[in-house]
């Protein structure tokens, strides 16, 4: 697998200046950081007169449908389209954008804009800032370098990216710079309550039924340092909830006193589990995820594991215990 070449802001600006048609994409199952980042970047590049397509394999979750311009995101690429430049945002691995993007032959030069230090970066070029709390901060820097004026819509999108990836500025990835960027964004009339209302303060009845069902089966390891929840397809079917409505559920096992690592086992299909990992103070869950071809941050990471649930659970917990 090829390794992306590093590129700096000046190099990015040069490639953007030469491109006329640009494709912007984020990862499967898009979150607030990915969506906010691609929307802000897309509008910014349109201000430069570029022809821009914003792509997401999966639909925009209901909680993020308040974002200005989200209805312009497409979920299919036109076979006749030709792009000079493609950005993959909030990830470094082309595969995680989805099969359609991976096999699309007319992407042009592909550049990843990311803040995840761990994991494989296999685009043509990579601009990654691991010290940034979110990809939203990365996009903010790119927009500043391009001398694009921020407006309310762009500021709202970047603010949403930051606030969701920092857990309302309470996660350990939050820095002094994060607050400084957020402050500038808010100066563009971002309605912080509306963002919070949609992202954190609104739940469907189906989500609450799913939470009740999942929390009732939450388990704690005998060491008392690991706790986990399991979300199976049968749980979604029984409650009518969508997988996206389980956003944030992993925070419940992590909040248990004495627990260092929380796990969410999410059944994608029979025998395939998407794993979310969160640690509280000292375990590097990105290292754990890398052992299963995943990646992420020191305190928040993920991977996908195939097999019988009992075997998946056993292998993952054994890997975590080595870090505790």
Residues 153 and 98 occupy one common structural domain: yes
Residues 159 and 52 occupy one common structural domain: yes
Residues 162 and 245 occupy one common structural domain: no
Residues 173 and 223 occupy one common structural domain: no
Residues 184, 187, 192, 198, Cα dihedral to 10°: -80
Tokens of residue 141, six digits: 């820097």
Residues 76 and 159 occupy one common structural domain: yes
Provide the number of structural domains found in the chain: 2
What average pLDDT is seen over the chain? 95
Among 153, 178, 199, which residue terminates a domain? 199
Residue-wise pLDDT tens digits, 83-134: 999 999 999 889 999 999 999 999 999 999 999 877 678 899 999 999 999 9
- Which residue blocks in the chain are alpha helix, DSSP H? 9-18, 32-47, 99-103, 135-145, 152-165, 176-186, 192-199, 205-215, 233-239, 251-254, 285-290, 309-321
Residue-wise pLDDT tens digits, 36-49: 999 999 999 999 99
**Of 307, 306, 215, 308, which is closest to residue 262 (Cα–Cα)?**
215
Quote the pLDDT of residue 246: 95
Whether 135 contacts 157, CB under 8 Å: no
State the Cα–Cα distance between residues 253 and 219, nearest whole angstrom: 8
- Name the pTM for this structure: 0.91
Helix (H) or strand (E) holding 22: strand 21-26
State the Cα–Cα distance between residues 42 and 62, nearest whole angstrom: 20
**Going by C-beta distance under 8 Å and a sequence separation of 6 or more, which residues neighbour residue 78?**
none
Residues 180 and 222 occupy one common structural domain: no
Residues 94 and 226 occupy one common structural domain: no
Among 199, 222, 242, which residue terminates a domain? 199
CATH number at residue 84: 3.90.1640.10
Residues 216 and 159 occupy one common structural domain: no
Compute φ and ψ for 105, nearest 5 degrees.
-85, -5
What is the span of the domain harbouring residue 279? 205-321
Residues 168 and 224 occupy one common structural domain: no
Residues 79 and 186 occupy one common structural domain: yes
Residues 175 and 209 occupy one common structural domain: no
Residue-wise pLDDT tens digits, 144-186: 999 999 999 999 999 999 999 999 999 989 999 999 999 999 9
- Per-residue pLDDT at 1 exceeds 70: no
Residues 183 and 234 occupy one common structural domain: no
Q: Is 172 helix (H, G, I), strand (E, B) or coil?
A: coil
Quote the pLDDT of residue 297: 85
């Amino acid at each position: 697998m090829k390794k992306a070449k590093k590129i700096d802001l000046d190099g990015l600006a040069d490639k953007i200046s030469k491109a006329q048609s640009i494709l912007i994409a984020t990862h499967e199952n898009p979150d607030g950081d990915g969506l906010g980042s691609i929307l802000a970047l897309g509008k910014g590049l349109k201000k430069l007169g570029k022809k821009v397509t914003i792509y997401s394999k999966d639909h925009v979750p209901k909680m993020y449908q308040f974002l200005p311009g989200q209805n312009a995101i497409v979920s299919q690429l036109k076979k006749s389209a030709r792009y000079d430049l493609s950005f993959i945002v909030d990830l470094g691995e082309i595969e995680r954008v989805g099969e359609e993007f991976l096999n699309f032959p007319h992407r042009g030069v592909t550049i990843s804009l990311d803040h995840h230090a761990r994991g494989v970066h296999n685009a043509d070029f990579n601009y990654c800032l691991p010290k940034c709390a979110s990809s939203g901060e990365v996009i903010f820097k790119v927009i500043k370098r391009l001398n694009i004026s921020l407006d309310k819509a762009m500021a709202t999108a970047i603010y949403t990216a930051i606030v969701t990836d920092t857990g309302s500025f309470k996660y350990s990835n939050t820095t002094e710079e994060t607050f400084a960027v957020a402050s500038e964004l808010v100066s563009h009339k971002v309605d912080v309550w509306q963002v919070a209302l949609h992202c954190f303060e609104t739940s469907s009845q189906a989500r609450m039924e799913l939470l009740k069902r999942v929390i009732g089966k939450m388990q704690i390891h005998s060491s008392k340092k690991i706790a986990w929840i399991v979300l199976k397809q049968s749980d979604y079917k029984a409650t009518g909830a969508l997988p996206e409505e389980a956003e944030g559920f992993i925070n419940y096992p992590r909040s248990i006193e004495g627990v260092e690592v929380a796990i969410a086992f999410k059944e994608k299909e029979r025998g395939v589990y998407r794993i979310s990992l969160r640690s509280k103070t000292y375990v590097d869950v990105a290292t754990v995820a890398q052992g299963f071809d995943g990646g992420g941050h020191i305190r928040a990471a993920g991977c996908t594991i195939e097999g019988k649930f009992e075997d998946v659970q056993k292998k993952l917990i054994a890997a975590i215990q080595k870090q505790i």
